[in-house]
Amino acid sequence: MNHTLASTLGELQTKIYWLHDAEKFAELAEAATEIYIKLGYDQQKAENVGYLISEAYQLSDDADLSYKAGEIEKEITFYNQVKDKFIEIEAILGLQKNIAEHQTKWWIHFRHRQKLQVIYHLFLQHLKPLGLTYLFIALQLTYYMLKIGKGHNLRDIEITQKNATKYWIQLLKCNITKYPYLG
The residues near 32 (Cβ < 8 Å, ≥ 6 apart) are 12, 16, 49, 50, 53, 54, 183
Domain ranges of the chain: 3-173
pLDDT tens across 73-99, in order? 999 999 999 999 999 999 999 998 899
Could you state, in chain order, the average pLDDT of each consecutive group of 10 residues for the chain (183 residues)?
91 97 97 97 98 98 98 98 97 92 96 96 95 95 96 94 97 90 88
Residues of 113-143 as b/e, b for ≥16 C-beta within 10 angstroms?
eeeeebbbbbbbbbbbbbeeebeebbebbbb
Cβ 102 vs Cβ 122: under 8 Å: yes
The 10s digit of each residue's pLDDT in 13-27 is 999 999 999 999 999
pTM of the model as a whole: 0.94
